[in-house]
Amino acid sequence: MKFTNGYWMTRPEYDMSYATEVYRAAPEGKALHILAATRPAGGRRGADLNMPALNVRLSSPAENVLYVEVTHFRGALDSGPRFDIRREETEVAVTRDEKGYRIRSGHLEAIVHEEGWEVDFLGDGRLLTSSGWHGMAHAKDRNSGKTYMSDSLMLDVGEWVYGLGERFTPYLKNGQTVEIWNEDGGTSSELAYKNIPFYMTGRGYGVLVDDAADVSFEVGSEKVERVQFSVPGERLRYFLIYGPGPKDVIERYTALTGRPALPPAWSFGLWLSTSFTTDYDEETVSRFIRGMAERGIPLSVFHFDCYWMRGLTWTDFTWDPGTFPDPEGMIGRLHGMGLKVCVWINPYFAQNGALFDEGAEKGYFIRKLDGSVWQSDLWQAGMAVLDVTDPKAREWYCGHLRRLLATGVDCFKTDFGERIPVKGVQYADGSDPVRMHNYYSYLYNQMVFETIQQERGPGEAVVFARSATAGGQRFPAHWGGDCSATFASMAETLRGGLSLAHCGFGFWSHDISGFEQTAPAHVYKRWAAFGLLGTHSRLHGSGSYRVPWLFDEESVEVLRHFTKLKCRLMPYLYASAVQAHEKGVPVMRPMMLEFPEDLTAQMLDRQYMLGDSLLVAPVFSRTGEVDYYLPAGEWTCFWDDQQTPGGSWRHETHGFMSLPLMVRPGSVIPLGGCDSRPDYDYPDGLSLHVYSLKDGETAEVTVPDLRGDPAAQFHFRREGAALMVRTDSAKPCEVVLHGMPGVGPVLKRCGSLSDMV
């Protein structure tokens, strides 16, 4: 929301009241309360008449986090929903000195200056950012009467801004206007399915605006030296989170909003779909599955998209009897082939579906203000929308999910959740419809995920979700929505994933080769390599099938090669997944998360780190040419062991069976002994690949079991030409050395644990 016209002038439709000076200040227990005058009053009697004032309260919900509340009218309605924030007791110091009033939490401090108006935020004594002149404000639109609250935080020279959800616009958000409003806009526009009012910068802090409404961000756009954020109403609340490193910021952010659950290991395998509008029945499905098996391509999950139900009935949770006359038997047969089964759902109920009348009669749908059911013809004729704030409606919906789970369905694709009405509607719990628009996605995915968890047990729940808001990372996994079958769309998909990773989403996927149109074979093959070097990998399209032999025979080879590689990488990938679950740091990581001091790494949006140690640079060209950047150190090519010094750009040409996949120096990559499935006994047949460990350096790796608990731990130390290892594993494994000339394969006992064999 832009309120100004240039640096000095206010837009003519707005009346602006800016915090101008400290009128009065006082500690409130562990908080600091400031009454801010909106024009110079100077303590003079009478100068404070007919003047708006802003109440500013600073507190701390967790160590190294400050919470800022700016209020104009305290009596204004404050209806929910509100983000589910996990607060904890923390030591807070509120003091006053010659500079002004201070509040400190851990290594983070805010100083409210008494001279003029400025709030400085410092981390370890270093200035992070400030809210200063024309920062905190109340705005009123003279034409509509609508009111807004805003603040703006300073940007330093060279300070980049990241995050704000799954955005397909440029990765660096500086210069952009971002509206936090979930919409179904595909991946080729400024609209986004997953809008998160959280950003972080390269200076070691992040900001979460604590409002589920349509937060508006001006990121160095209205005022080029600031990030401004505004919300409708009379209150603005935000968290300022200190790192100091970017991974520390994400760890603290996810401690507040929730850590991702650990998905089951089987979900990391290859998913194959019916696609959307294609013709299919059990014979079609079985033919595709047999074709994958005959070609040696490991398949883990089969997904049934919308038309598992009859048209104009979505969602009634009933298999189309003309296409699938024996669904329970079919699911049993698919399980017999070693596959899990996923089915498509959404929270909308077509008027001609079997459940519409029951839901309408019992009041389970979002209603108009006159009490009638809100309906639309967009998507499904006469459809209504489930009222997720009504516990009875949620239980009714989840009861049908339980029925499907009882027949053998393993998980659900939770599509949509963005087309949620806001005008002239009401919710059962009285929630503000504007704030429910984005928050709907949280409640929707939560109820589905928790239902699977209750029925299948801990560690077995996974959804394939499209919409999200802050906290939605708790319910993995998420996919990038409707992309096109081009290299440009492949690149924008990656930008969306990188931006979402900055918001703590640990598990993310996309439709390999694009959803819209049908990719040429060269795009399919490049996208398959990219899609299988992530956590969740799905072949899915709109009007055509995505099995590889329909593209060309080399596509079969490429898909088989990278699917088998992913299965072997599972000890490494699942250990990274455990880290995401426990710490909040995503598995797919923007380069700046791992290399925050590298100025080039801060700007990269066509490559990423997969876990701590693997650098992936997808190929976005028909020629196979690719440019990528290596940070400092001796990197090793995963494919051929060729070593390359970092700190520079590389230009290479790759065939379809490879892409730049580089191993970070000092890493240990555990490779499993199974290449036919993602869920197996990871220590069995394990090989440990040690890369460029220097004399005196140490490295360690934990190999998890299928519950995410440690199954085997290995500690390495290089001492000259000897490699010392300590392990608690009782199973033999192979150690392979890379980039370590002169080091013998001699492994010595270290400590009280057993030798390697």
What domain range is 110 assigned to?
9-154+205-218+227-242
| pLDDT at site 752 | 38
The pairing of beta strand 411-414 with beta strand 340-345: parallel
Q: Which of 418, 516, 598, 679 is catalytic?
A: 418
| pLDDT at site 447 | 98
Does 721 lie in the same domain as 622? no
Structure tokens, 119 = 């709030």
| pLDDT at site 270 | 98
pLDDT, one tens digit per residue, over 36-83 is: 999 998 778 898 999 999 999 999 999 999 999 999 999 999 989 999
Which CATH number is 45's domain given? 2.60.40.1760
Does 555 lie in the same domain as 411? yes
Asked if residue 125 is part of any domain, the answer here is: yes
Asked if residue 597 is part of any domain, the answer here is: no
Do residues 343 and 409 lie in contact, with contact meaning Cβ atoms separated by under 8 Å?
Answer: yes
Does 686 lie in the same domain as 559? no
Does 710 lie in the same domain as 606? no
Asked if residue 654 is part of any domain, the answer here is: yes
Do residues 704 and 582 lie in contact, with contact meaning Cβ atoms separated by under 8 Å?
Answer: no
Does 455 lie in the same domain as 570? yes
| Composition of the chain by helix, strand, coil, percent to 5 | 20, 30, 50
Q: Which of 166, 248, 251, 415 is catalytic?
A: 415
Structure tokens, 471 = 């906290």
Does 444 lie in the same domain as 330? yes
Span 314-319, mean pLDDT? 97
Query: Could you tell me which of 519, 525, 405 has the C-alpha nearest to residue 453?
Result: 405
Q: Which of 566, 588, 610 is the last residue of a domain?
A: 588
Is the pLDDT reported for residue 228 higher than 80? Answer: yes
Is the pLDDT reported for residue 750 higher than 80? Answer: no
pLDDT band at 751 (very low <50, low <70, confident <90, very high): very low
Instruction: Report in angstroms the alpha-carbon separations of 28 from 62, 95, 478.
Output: 17, 11, 42
Is the pLDDT reported for residue 754 higher than 50? Answer: no
pLDDT band at 16 (very low <50, low <70, confident <90, very high): very high
pLDDT, one tens digit per residue, over 264-288 is: 999 999 999 999 999 999 999 999 9
The per-residue pLDDT of the chain, averaged, comes to: 96
Span 625-654, mean pLDDT? 98
Structure tokens, 320 = 């189309």
Does 693 lie in the same domain as 657? no
Looking at the structure of the chain, the number of domains it has is: 4
Q: Which of 248, 387, 482, 598 is catalytic?
A: 482
Does 501 lie in the same domain as 618? no
pLDDT, one tens digit per residue, over 146-167 is: 999 999 999 999 999 999 999 9
Query: Could you tell me which of 385, 349, 348, 367 has the C-alpha nearest to residue 425?
Result: 367
Does 541 lie in the same domain as 458? yes
Asked if residue 498 is part of any domain, the answer here is: yes
Span 515-524, mean pLDDT? 98
| pLDDT at site 745 | 60
Name the one residue in this structure whose structure tokens are 């498509």.
Answer: 344
Asked if residue 20 is part of any domain, the answer here is: yes
Confirm whether 415 is a catalytic residue: yes
Q: Which of 633, 663, 693 is the last residue of a domain?
A: 663
Asked if residue 675 is part of any domain, the answer here is: no
Does 652 lie in the same domain as 699? no
Does 609 lie in the same domain as 482? no
Which CATH number is 567's domain given? 3.20.20.80
Q: Which of 637, 663, 689 is the last residue of a domain?
A: 663
C-alpha 618/C-alpha 513 separation (Å) is 13
DSSP string, 575-599: HHHHHHHHH---SEE-HHHH-TT-T
In this structure, the number of other CB atoms found within 10 A of the CB of residue 520 comes to 15
Confirm whether 418 is a catalytic residue: yes
Is the pLDDT reported for residue 747 higher than 90? Answer: no
The full 3-state SS of 492-561, as one line of letters, equals HHHHHHHHHHCCCCCCEECECCCCECCCCHHHHHHHHHHHHCCCCEEECCCCCCCCHHHCCHHHHHHHHH
Asked if residue 668 is part of any domain, the answer here is: no
Asked if residue 353 is part of any domain, the answer here is: no
Which CATH number is 743's domain given? 2.60.40.1180
| pLDDT at site 275 | 97
| pLDDT at site 749 | 46
pLDDT, one tens digit per residue, over 191-213 is: 999 999 999 999 999 999 999 99
Does 572 lie in the same domain as 462? yes
| pLDDT at site 116 | 82
Encoded amino acid at 241, one letter: I
